[in-house]
Homo-oligomer: A and B are copies of this chain.
Amino acid sequence: MTRSALTRDEVLAAAAALVKRHGPAALTMRGLAAELGTAVTSIYWHVGNRESLLDALVERTVQDMGAIRPAGRTPAERIVSVARILRRELRERPHLIAMVHERGLTERMFLPAQRALVHEVRAAGLRGARAADAVRAIQFQIVGFLLVERNRERSPAQSPAEGELWDPRAAPDDPALARALARPADPERLFLLSVRALAQALLTPDAAAPPASG
């Protein structure tokens, strides 16, 4: 019953499967060895240690992600579509966001999206430092939102729950507002709404102007 020679790819595949099923915390060197039917120490020979195993895993998954093909008639619409694509890609790999983020590989993962954003921002007429700011603001917005959203569903039982938490007295004369805040948020809607609003503000020529009301 000797197994065929263990390869690095085999180790990575098994590790990826483990992470996919039960998350990064479930990926233990010993558990992985058991899964593969080898001694723990063999894994070390192939991948170095747990850290570099995770690094390799992230790199592999990032490369698996599809290309960014923005759709829409206007730059703003296409920026929203970039956001939507990223959200979908990342939601198909639920554990990836946190892993990428923890390893400081967010830049790496966002490179294709950044290219697309640069293109759209320039199509909207922005140039130089102002264009770079817009790209980064949108980039941070997308990653940030996905991190928050991901975390919310990982620990859905907020304590105290959002409903109990929200004190209607804070908006006594606006029951609709109180009700809306007591309801759980619809993340997809909120995501698109946020990106759209930010993109709109960043792309309008008078973004440097003072805020509208007051």
Listed in ascending order, the chain A residues whose CB lies under 8 Å from chain B are 73-77, 101-108, 111, 114-115, 118-119, 122, 124-125, 127-129, 131-133, 135-137, 140-141, 143-149, 151-152, 154-160, 162, 165-167, 170-171, 174, 176-177, 180-181, 185, 190, 193-194, 196-205, 207, 210-214
Contacts and interface: CB of A to CB of B under 8 A. Distances in A.
A74 B114 CA distance: 33
B144 A180 contact: no
Contact of A162 (B75, B107, B198): B107
A125 B214 CA distance: 10
A135 B200 CA distance: 18
Contacts of A127: 174, 176-177
Contacts of A143: 144, 148
Given A201-B198, A213-B124, A101 B132 contact: no
A111 to B, nearest CB: 6
28 contacts: A74-B211, A77-B211, A105-B158, A107-B158, A107-B165, A108-B159, A108-B160, A111-B165, A114-B181, A119-B170, A127-B177, A131-B174, A131-B177, A132-B177, A133-B193, A135-B181, A137-B193, A140-B149, A141-B144, A141-B198, A143-B148, A144-B148, A194-B198, A197-B202, A198-B198, A198-B201, A200-B207, A201-B201
Q: Say how many copies of this protein the assembly contains.
A: 2
A201 to B, nearest CB: 4
Contacts of A118: 170-171, 177, 181
A207 B74 CA distance: 17
A129 B176 contact: yes
- Best-buried of A74, A140, A145, A155 by chain B (most CB within 10 Å): A140
Contacts of A73: 214
Nearest to A182: B132
